[in-house]
Amino acid sequence: MNRAAAALRVAQPSHRQAVRNLEKDLRTKLFHRVGRYLAPAPAGEALVGPARQILRDVDATWCASSGTWSVAGSTSMGD
């Protein structure tokens, strides 16, 4: 969570709450919380591919319209 929050340039508690809210909205756990560590839950693993595709699509759209920005390669989960 700390590295993800830093990469997103948001406070770690805000990031943690956003993940919890997403889990609540989806009505499933995306991560197994083991002490201070997170491991992807099956639902979280299943969302990695579609989420990466969304980022690639957003990046392609943004680049086509402005010629700048790249976010598609800046996230990882379980890598």
Burial (CB < 10 A; 0-12, 13-18, 19+), residue 61, is exposed
- DSSP letter for each residue of 44-58: HHHHHHHHHHHHHHH
Say which residues have a Cβ less than 8 Å from residue 68's Cβ, sequence separation at least 6. 62
**The predicted structure's pLDDT at residue 69:** 58
Domain ranges of the chain: 2-66
Query: pLDDT tens across 39-58, in order?
Result: 899 999 999 999 999 989 98
Structure confidence at residue 7 as a pLDDT band (50, 70, 90): confident
Structure confidence at residue 79 as a pLDDT band (50, 70, 90): very low
**The predicted structure's pLDDT at residue 25:** 96
Q: How many residues are there in the chain?
A: 79
CATH of domain 2-66: 1.10.10.10
Counting residues of the chain whose pLDDT is more than 90, the rounded percentage is 42
pTM above 0.85, yes or no: no
